Amino acid sequence: MNGIITNIEMFPNELFIELFAYISPYDLYNTFSNLNSRFNSIIDSLQNLHFILEEDWDNKERTIPFFASHISNLIIKHDEPIDFSCYSNIRSLKLSMPTENQCNAIQPYLLPNLEHLYISNLFFSNNSKQLCRFIFSPLFSRLRTCHIDRITFNDYHPYSSLSLQQLTVSPCTWKSNMYRQIFKACPNLTYLRIIRLRNISFKLSFNFICSHTSLRHLHIHFYSIGHEWYSHIDWLLSNIPNLENLTLLIDQNETNIEFPFDLFAHLLTHRAPHLINFKSIIFDLEQKWVEWSETQLTNTYDTLMNFIRSFENRKDYIVQLAYPISLPLPCHSQDGLQRYGNKTDSGKILCGIKNLNLLDKCVIYSLGSNNIFDFEQEMSNQTLCEIHTYDCTSSRPLQSINRVWFHPICIGKDAKLQESINPFTENSDHLMNKNELVFKSFRDIVQKNKHTHIHILKMDVEGSEYSIFADLFSQTNQIILPYQISFESHWWNKNIYHAMMHQKIFAQLWKSGYRFLQHEINIYDSSCIEWTLLRVFC
């Protein structure tokens, strides 16, 4: 047998190391340790191991010497006492069933390399007192991320941590000076998440300033809000001048007031000039949208009956088929809603255009121009986006516009639908009646341009919006839906089935995650309505 190389000997060490990652430490020890010098060497070389301790196996005297010093990520799912003196290499620690004994065992001199700490479901608030003094101190010099539930602060203890960058807390009680304590203790904090503020007093003492210039991300979950919420949020945002991302959750079922979105949007515009991403998850708003959508049949019947009985302003009823107009989504941008384009008819109202300049690449589609290109010109001036204009009834711009590509193509299968909808096509000389016009589907042009993302979709296509939306929402379409849509719908009061097509479009938009920012009736023709929608749910 001498000189014969067996299969196990040909197996490379690298594959053993990778396989060992899927074996529990106890089984690894009992199966491979002391098997031969090679396996002992492989086991001894293991570094940055990730272990989940379901039981107190670390007290087994034979196992712990082999693995404790090699563990970098440790999750403890038992409530027994634990000795961290053997775990000198830990960088990430999570306690799923924390006890006072376990919390007190977390000492800086035992865990000098700790970078991430997660402690959930503390049963007693006083468990965290000693630990907080360590967390918010120079002793954990490498700690960058911390999540600690039922946190307790001492009003008279000087907390300070220069290393902490991300903090998630769920306070037992909340006092007005806790903002100041956190801001002062963590000057380099960039992410703060405060969960489930229950029975909070919204009244703050405004005679002190605790500005925090490093904080970029703020996530707050209120159990409920009171009448002083505005001054509370106003004070908070005024002390975070460089905030870029805001998430606000409110359990609206505990709230006796209706949330004033317009007032909140104004507050964000004034206090958060650098806001990039705003997620306002107000459960009450979405609940009202859901309730509205569930009663669409009744709403449609009532609206159409009023339409039939009315002889004036009949065209305005189309809006009532679309969405609860008293509940628009506020624009998240500091610039608010703005019209882009000089003409009332050709300009479009959009939200957060300047945020597109933060992207490496952005794409805008403009469908329909009618030989007016002021929208494209302003988009070119305001953004660095790639802009594609499609219109088979228009000529190219007389002067070239930077980053604008004009395509003499109409969107849709053919002109038949427009001929049925558009009263102006009855004239045989109308351009839509020309046989030489080129029509392509929206899916085809996007695929030809090799675009997978569309940031702005602007449409004014004289009734062809139905064909475009049908193509856009096709299940076989691989296109990621546009982030923002601004389009003009056309009723022209021709027949009721046209109104039903409107409702189908709006229902599909809602199901696809779009919410209305605004609508505007065309001043030249009240049967034409401008809509602006933002996709907030995917």
For residues 228 and 204, give the distance between their C-alpha atoms in angstroms, rounded to a whole number.
9
Residue carrying structure tokens 């995917």: 538
- pLDDT computed for residue 214 by the predictor: 92
- pLDDT computed for residue 389 by the predictor: 93
What DSSP assignment string belongs to 464-488?
THHHHHHHHT-TT--PPPPSEEEEE
285: Cβ contacts below 8 Å, ≥ 6 apart: 252, 259, 261, 327, 329
For residues 352 and 247, give the distance between their C-alpha atoms in angstroms, rounded to a whole number.
17
Lookup: tokens for 64: 């712990």
For residues 350 and 267, give the distance between their C-alpha atoms in angstroms, rounded to a whole number.
19
166: Cβ contacts below 8 Å, ≥ 6 apart: 144, 145, 146, 189, 190, 191
DSSP 430: S
Lookup: tokens for 347: 């300009």
pTM of the model: 0.53
- pLDDT computed for residue 166 by the predictor: 93
Closest CA to 348 of 95, 87, 183, 522: 522
> Is 389 in contact with 376 (CB distance < 8 Å)?
yes
- pLDDT computed for residue 200 by the predictor: 61
Closest CA to 236 of 205, 258, 257: 205
- pLDDT computed for residue 65 by the predictor: 59
Q: Is 272 helix (H, G, I), strand (E, B) or coil?
A: coil
434: Cβ contacts below 8 Å, ≥ 6 apart: none
| E strands in 11-155 | 49-53, 71-76, 92-95, 116-119, 145-151
Q: Is 340 helix (H, G, I), strand (E, B) or coil?
A: strand
Residue carrying structure tokens 């390399």: 113
> Is 529 in contact with 318 (CB distance < 8 Å)?
yes
Closest CA to 125 of 166, 153, 157: 153
For residues 340 and 378, give the distance between their C-alpha atoms in angstroms, rounded to a whole number.
6
- pLDDT computed for residue 1 by the predictor: 46
- pLDDT computed for residue 474 by the predictor: 74
H helix or E strand, kind and range, residue 130: helix 129-135
Q: Please give the chain's pLDDT, 538 residues, in tens.
A: 455 555 777 778 888 877 877 777 777 777 887 888 888 888 777 777 777 777 655 445 455 556 777 888 888 888 888 888 888 889 999 988 888 888 888 999 999 999 999 987 655 445 667 788 888 888 899 999 999 877 777 767 778 888 999 998 887 666 667 888 888 889 999 999 988 666 566 566 656 667 889 999 998 887 777 777 788 888 888 889 889 888 887 765 455 666 676 678 778 878 887 776 665 555 556 667 777 777 777 777 777 777 777 666 555 666 766 666 667 777 777 667 889 987 666 688 898 888 787 777 889 999 988 888 999 999 999 888 999 999 888 888 888 889 999 999 888 765 555 555 555 555 545 455 455 778 888 888 888 898 888 999 999 887 778 878 888 887 555 667 899 999 988 876 556 667 777 778 888 888 888 888 888 887 777 778 888 998 877 6
- pLDDT computed for residue 318 by the predictor: 66
Which residues partner with 520 through β-bridges?
Answer: 530
The amino acid that residue 146 corresponds to is: C
